[in-house]
Structure 1
């Protein structure tokens, strides 16, 4: 009997600090909001988005983030959004992100997953290629003003998003730079705003293959964009709708074309660089997405608000789709990779 009482006393002593910590963390989350403590400059630095846009995102995502439970200490939509944004912005370890909000590693992962899924429900409202005649004409004029090349609808480039070394088909994900990655195709307009993105192929896949198997590439091949053009680097095939630089320019006109082409492609390269630096978890300097491909999703769509807010929102949505795509399409991805490496003839 004495032994049983001793065990009960020890169990109570072990549980007491844990229960107190839960209450303390809940009190901190409920009463010490970063919105109330941090100035606007610190908000932008810590979360990579201005206060106004975060509040708009919170209002937009609140129905999806609200926890329909009567249990104590449920995470508020604000805490979930800020925890996810903090991870997006820093690419830090999950434990480090959780310490700032009194959250466990599992809770932070759940926040990231929930926020990302909520963002993706609104993706196609914002990220899309120009559709109306007015939008197409605006992009044509903007691109022509930069380098003098007419009828350009989008600037295409590929970029590698580092991920954790996958446990299956490792070599398919090892990029030409020697690390595991996902090859992401990005299309931007003259302002550097992302208008389309394909992120479902492993890092060893060639850019030309990604383009040929993308919805935009297929639509362009069928003449779906009329007289509009896309510009890509030498890694893409030369087509009547896809212009690449000349490998050995001889005449003055050919050299002028290459100069104009480089000037246009600077826009997409700068856009990708800014995107990765704003959401540091995509950059190799922060270790990339330390996730297996099954947890590394990918990106798609956001476009028309104020240009500044639009750019930030499109990058955020694109990151969200990156964080979700591979998990959602894991079986299809593995099948495509298997087909790619078993049927390729090059």
Structure 2
């Protein structure tokens, strides 16, 4: 077992470590650019050149984040799709109704019409997964 671990250790020592700036367009292959940012190299360069005047900061005190880094970081976050398949409304919607005969005043909302406060949640395909319509549209 020790011999096996020794071989792994020596192999790790011999392996040449390669460090590169992952935000440098010239350091990445075309396939890596498409995988990480979903844009080809020439379009990334055009986008950075277009946004550079708006993103550049002039400062004497600190080193500002360069515009190309800002653009690449934003594209990386957008390309990751971390909030995919999430659709919802947490505030609810007022649905107009006819004035009920019992407790009519409870159903008058802030815009002074009778309503129900309804919350609907759907999935990415537009199918309703949750529906709640039990609260009057009361204006407090």
TM-score scaled to structure 2, two decimals? 0.48
Q: Which has the higher strand share?
A: 2
Larger radius of gyration: 2
Query: Which structure's relative contact order is higher, taking Cα pairs within 8 Å and 6+ residues apart?
Result: 1
